[in-house]
Each structure stands twice: as C-alpha cells, then as structure tokens.
Amino acid sequence: MEAPPVLHLSVGIASVVIVVLFVPIYIRIICIFLLNKSYRSLECYQIMIQIGITQCIMGPSWLFTGIAHIAQHDYANLAKYLYEVTGVAVRVEAYLSVLLAINRLRIICNWRWSRLSKRSQFKILYCTSAAIWIVCAVPFVILLTGKADFLVDPKEFLPRYDYEKPYSKTLQAFGSYQLIVTSLTTLILYITIVIYLIHRQFQAGISSEFNKEKTILVYALSRFAADFSAAVLYNLGGHFLPKCNAVDIFVFFTYPFNQLILPPVLYLTLYRSVRKEFFGKKKDVTQAATLFTVFPQATQS
C-alpha cells in the first residue's frame, strides 16, 4: 500500500530518535554493571551485560532504516545488512534470557555447583554464550550465501524475507518458532521461581517478602509479553493482521520498543540501586547485588 511521504518521514524520524535517545541510556546502565565490582562479580549480571550489549547492537539497524525512510533510499544497503545482523542478535538475546532465567532458578533454589570455582563457572558461562552466538549466526551465514535474502525497502514499512530465494521461508519459519519457544521457556522458568518463593514463604510463615517476588514477576511478565508479542506480530502477523500502513508501522516499532526502550525503563523503575547510580546518587552497595536475588544467601553467584 502506497504511503504518503510525510508518513515515511515521520516513521524515519521516530526510528532515529528512539535509537539516539535510548541507546546511550542503555549503554550507561551497562557501564554501571561493568564498572561496579558488586555487579560484574555475579554471574547473573554477566549475563545481563551480554543481553544489554546484544540489544544495543540492534540499534544501528533501526537508525539506518529510519534514515532510509527519510531519504527514501538505503545507501549501500546498510539498513539491509544491519538488519541481518539484528536477526542474529534477536535470537542471541532470546537464548541469553533463557540462560539468565536458568541461573536465577539455580541460585534461588540453591542448586549450586559446589565443586566448581567461580572462575570455572564463568568459563562455562562464556563457552555457553559463544556457542549461542555460533548457533544463532547460522541463518546469517545462509543469507550471505545467497540461498536466502532479506529485503529493506524504504517504500515499505516492514523489512521482509525475499521469498524468491529457496531458503527464505524456511529461515523465517525457523526463526519465528525459535523466538516463540524461547519466550515461553523463559516465562515458565520465572513462574517456577515465583511459585517456589511463595511456597518457601508459606513454609516459613513469612509474608513480608512478597514485594521482592513481585518485582521479579513484573520484570519477567513484562519482558515475556514484549518478546512474545514482537515474535508473533513480526513473524506471523502477515497471516492474520489486516494489510494497512498503520498496522505495518505498529509492528515495525515492536522490536525497537522491546529491545531499546523497555529494558532501560524496567531497570530504572523497578530497581532502586541501578536508578541511584544512573542519576549519580550515592551507591547503595548492600542493594547492588540483589537485582535478581531475593534471599541474602543467594547473592554470591
């Protein structure tokens, strides 16, 4: 459906503004995790740092897609190539989110690797992360071979696979189900954590800790709703959504919202220790290591 130039201009400006505004905010939060030993010495924050870096890697694709809509031309196919990189990053982020949920379940349920040193645990984490990147890069390699292709047309609001290539539909289907399954797995893991914590509370006759559990659930459900919605709308929406510019624009912005806007907003609203350091207030060392940890004995992971 042909869209008026002003609509492309508006979408392009909005896309550029989102990246220019929220990527620096997110980088600032990542730097807080990297520079503060009370964060980076914990395995969960190591995973969160990787998730944050992966999400920031996606920013340039939306920046150059926005520029392409403003100029009505994708210079040197930069938006196209960067979108293909974003396809890798989206899958990596989904697997890292599962890894983070597994880490929280293991620590909160006190399933420890007692025979392994912290250095060995970090080595396992880094090897797992490297394996995730290698596996998720396979579709990108297939795109480079020319057996599948991804199109970014400045006259259309939604980038899409080129179905004239033999493996494009297969890549899209595989990626869609991959993201949906990882989102559901992450949700199940966090629900398991919350059920365990509530059970532990009732066993101990304690009810005052529920606010900490609620924070975990709010974060998990918010990310699940965003991840799942983006995966379904972007990859499967063409089968059930009406064909119009308004719908295409809404679907286009689901991923920038999910990957660049929602995470820093959740960090700054739900977690006081991160918020204090972000705005340059006095550091609260005792709270710094409890972002995803409910019980004090679980903070050494």
Name the helix (H) or strand (E) containing 151.
strand 150-151
Name the helix (H) or strand (E) containing 161.
strand 160-161
Q: Give 82 or 190, the one with higher predicted confidence.
A: 82
Tens of pLDDT along 162-182? Answer: 999 999 999 988 888 888 899
Pull the structure tokens for residue 193: 């954590």
C-alpha to C-alpha distances, 62 to 11, 89, 108, 132, 161, nearest whole angstrom? 11, 13, 37, 23, 17
Q: Give 249 or 301, the one with higher predicted confidence.
A: 249
Helix (H, G, I), strand (E, B) or coil at 160: strand
- pLDDT at 232 (0 to 100): 85
Provide the b/e sequence for 232-243 (b: ≥16 CB within 10 Å).
Answer: bbbbebeeeeee
Contact 216, 294 (CB under 8 A): yes
Contact 275, 285 (CB under 8 A): no
Please give the Cα distance from 43 to 129 (Å, whole number).
Answer: 12
- pLDDT at 193 (0 to 100): 83
Helices (H) and strands (E) in the chain, counts: 14, 2
- pLDDT at 227 (0 to 100): 83
Residue position matching structure tokens 């914990």 = 42
Tens of pLDDT along 251-294? Answer: 999 999 999 999 999 999 988 888 888 888 655 544 444 444 44
Axis crossing angle, helix 78-108 with helix 138-145, rounded to the nearest 10:
160
Please give the Cα distance from 143 to 147 (Å, whole number).
Answer: 6
Range of weakest confidence among 67-76, 83-92, 191-200, 251-260: 191-200
Residue position matching structure tokens 């064909």 = 243
